Chain A
């Protein structure tokens, strides 16, 4: 009887713990409390380069191969920002797509030449299993992204 009672308590505790796992943290803990709008960063990126920011958004894409980047939807329509992490340090699960995320990271600027862009887009297309047409890329570009340090994602 006592054994059954303890078993029930243990099961309830385990279930409680599992149910509480709504937000999952990748990396260490968040240090910032206030979020910055992604649209604000992208509208005036020079004000944020090198700065540590906390952003919130829906995860709209994740690297399928190594989970080494995710794309976060901006508060502004048709806009998103790439969050890149070092391979293996943080691995974003594909299940994160469509979920709400809080990301803390450092804003970076990348100047990419046309050749580098073709190489990067080709690699991206191969990773994502998508077709790629290099003739569509006619010049390099400047990209602003977050070097991700911590992520909290609202998984199931």
Chain B
């Protein structure tokens, strides 16, 4: 239970940080914000990596598929965000 309360504290505080920061992102950049946030939500890849190296074959299989999914998010997300942001130029 103690671990849960600690995790819950982190969860609630992070939501507050999220609201504070995201509210300052201008509508101009809302599409890159969505693709970029998809990229960071690919962090589940680390959970997936840890579940591959287990004695359970089911866990290993699920972990491998999860790594593929999460890596698509990470690489696809960061790359497409970078590509989009490169298009935003100020008046020359």
Is chain B found bound to chain A in the same assembly?
Answer: no
Q: Residues of B at under 8 Å CB distance from A?
A: none
Where the two chains meet, the residues of A that have a C-beta atom closer than 8 Å to any C-beta of B are none
